[in-house]
Amino acid sequence: MRESILQLLEKNSRLSPADLAVMLGLPAEEVAAELGKMIDEQVICGFHTLVNWDKTGREFVTALIEVKVTPQRGMGFDRIAQRIYRFDEVKALYLMSGGFDLTVIVEGATIRDVAFFVSDKLAPLESVLSTATHFVLKKYKDHGIVLEKAVSDDERMIVSP
């Protein structure tokens, strides 16, 4: 039941416990209780709306920053990750495998704001060895949702056997 609830909510966080109960063929009280448990256990960490900000007047930039760090004895990457995710500019932070250690997703009003964040807040942290910043030019798909309809010159109907 838990996984089914999570899969449905991941696609549409607006579903109520009653809606979920009907979709799953379960009692509403049971679904509501399970939702409460998952919230308490931080399995469900929030309910968000995905906004295509490119369709609004809001101007901002998003950057992906590759960060190489020195892990701390006994704490690994956790302590430096905690210091980084506390910055308001940081929207997401991931521990990675491969050529760098952390991926930091940040937003700023301008490229200059992101540059200031990297040079004055992120790079000076004692465990940070290097950074590489990449700016997002356009989002096509986010959180599993296609943000713009595909452009097609061929408007013929697809027919398959």
Q: Tell me the pLDDT of the chain (161 aa) as tens digits.
A: 899 999 899 888 889 999 999 999 999 999 999 999 999 999 998 888 878 787 788 889 999 999 999 988 888 899 999 999 999 999 999 999 999 999 999 999 999 999 999 999 999 999 999 999 999 999 888 888 888 877 766 666 677 76
Nearest to 141 by CA among 23, 56, 54: 54
Distance CA 112, CA 108 (A): 8
Instruction: Answer for the pair 91, 51: CB distance below 8 angstroms, yes or no.
Output: no
Q: Which residues pair with 27 in a beta bridge?
A: none
Report pTM.
0.76
Amino acid 147: pLDDT: 85
